[in-house]
């Protein structure tokens, strides 16, 4: 069962999408780790902060997947012309939210990926079974 979850959910994103988001997540992770080592922070809190930032880093691509899916559903194929500064700031803001809420949002993305990929796999298996049956019928004739 865990193998299916791993294959359909955790490996459900394209590697290029996953590593692109890891790259951007490293920026926020580095900031959090730098804050953890700032003067006056107790070591116990620093360790928890670092662990949270690393977990958020790993889950960040799944959080962004949820955001991108919802955003795509709401916006559709519309194109907006906006100021570049506004676009960059809004993108940075959504990335920040997705990173810091990754522990909460990412499980939704993992569930979505599991459902999407398991359905696609089941459909593929059904198509292969039908092709096998068709080839067996053709061979009998």
In tens, the pLDDT along 71-128 reads 988 888 888 888 999 999 999 999 999 999 999 999 999 888 888 888 887 887 888 8
Please, which residues have CB within 8 angstroms of residue 101's CB and are 6 or more apart in sequence?
A: 63
Give residue 6's pLDDT.
Answer: 63
Q: For residue 65, what are the contacts with CB-CB under 8 A and spacing of at least 6?
A: 13, 17, 109, 112, 113
For residues 51-77, give the mean pLDDT. Answer: 91
59 CB burial (10 A radius; 0-12, 13-18, 19+): buried
Residues 46-73, mean pLDDT to the nearest whole number: 91
- State the pLDDT at residue 97: 95
pLDDT surpassing 70 at residue 51? yes
**Where do the H-state alpha helices sit in the chain?**
2-5, 15-36, 43-75, 84-100, 102-140
Angle between helices 43-75 and 15-36 (to 10 degrees): 140
Proportion of the chain above pLDDT 70, given as a percent? 89
Mean pLDDT estimate for the chain = 85
Looking at residue 9, what DSSP letter applies? Answer: I
- Show me where the domains of the chain are located: 2-135
Length of the chain: 141
How much is the average pLDDT of 128-135?
A: 80
Residue 71 to residue 107: CA distance in whole angstroms: 18
* Percent of the chain topping pLDDT 90: 41
Give the residue, 36 or 106, on which the prediction is more confident.
Answer: 106
The pLDDT of residue 119 is: 86
For residue 8, what pLDDT is reported?
A: 63
C-alpha 115: how far from its chain's center? 14
What tokens appear for 22 in the block? Answer: 């890891």
């Amino acid at each position: 069962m865990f193998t299916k979850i791993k294959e359909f959910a955790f490996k459900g994103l394209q590697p290029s999408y996953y590593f692109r988001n890891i790259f951007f997540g490293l920026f926020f992770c580095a900031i959090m780790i730098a804050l953890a080592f700032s003067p006056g922070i107790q070591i116990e809190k620093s360790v928890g902060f670092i662990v949270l930032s690393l977990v958020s880093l790993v889950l960040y691509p799944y959080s962004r997947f949820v955001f991108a899916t919802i955003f795509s559903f709401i916006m559709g194929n519309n194109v907006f012309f906006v100021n570049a500064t506004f676009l960059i700031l809004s993108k940075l803001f959504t990335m920040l939210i997705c990173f810091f809420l990754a522990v909460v949002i990412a499980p939704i993305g993992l569930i979505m990926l599991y459902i999407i990929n398991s359905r696609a796999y089941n459909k593929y298996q059904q198509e292969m079974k039908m092709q096998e049956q068709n080839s067996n019928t053709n061979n009998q004739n």
